[in-house]
Amino acid sequence: MLVISKPPSNNGVLLRFIIAWVAAVAWPAALFGAPARSAPAASERATHIVTIENMTFSPAILRVQPGDTVIFENHDLVPHTATAREKGKFDSGLIKAGESWSLTLPSAGSFPYSCSFHPTMSGELVVENAVPSKASPALRGK
């Protein structure tokens, strides 16, 4: 006669496997922590993401350090731009649907920007300890 059900001893094997895994992987990770989570040194360059979704830059105001990289990701179905309001500072040009554009800001300052197709879409990059510009539409209503 054919017995289809698994022998009960399999459960014991599985349990021992889980205990071994916890001992080998999870416990050392808990001991040493995740190094990536620790605060980066001042000299390290960070990468930040600005998401473009539902005609909105998010976060609207992003604080970065000089030399950090900011990646604009367009999750909308229409193209957008990230264009500095101060002429010549930066301009992504067309960021097509599903595409991204990256920018490195070398110097401190506040850089309000908007989408050249949709002027109501606005955001601001604040580099180092600069104060967000009072003119920034991103600050309105907050």
Interface with Cu ion includes 89 (CB under 5 A)? no
Q: Which residues have C-beta within 8 Å of that of residue 111, sequence separation ≥ 6?
A: 84, 85, 86, 89, 90, 105, 124, 125, 126, 127
Q: Which is nearer to Cu ion, 80 or 125 (CB)?
A: 80
Member of 68, 70, 80, 83 binding Cu ion (CB under 5 A): 80
Is 58 a binder of Cu ion (CB under 5 A)?
Answer: no
Q: Closest distance between Cu ion and the C-beta of residue 64, in Å?
A: 22
Tokens linked to 103: 């920018």
The whole-angstrom separation of Cα 137 and Cα 124 is 9
| 31, β-bridge pairs | none
Q: Of the listed pieces 28-36, 61-69, 99-107, 111-119, which binds Cu ion according to CB under 5 A?
A: 111-119
What is the rounded distance in angstroms from the CA atom of residue 36 to the CA atom of residue 82?
Answer: 29
Q: Is 142 annotated as a binding residue?
A: no
60 binds Cu ion (CB under 5 A): no
Q: Does residue 99 bind Cu ion (CB under 5 A)?
A: no
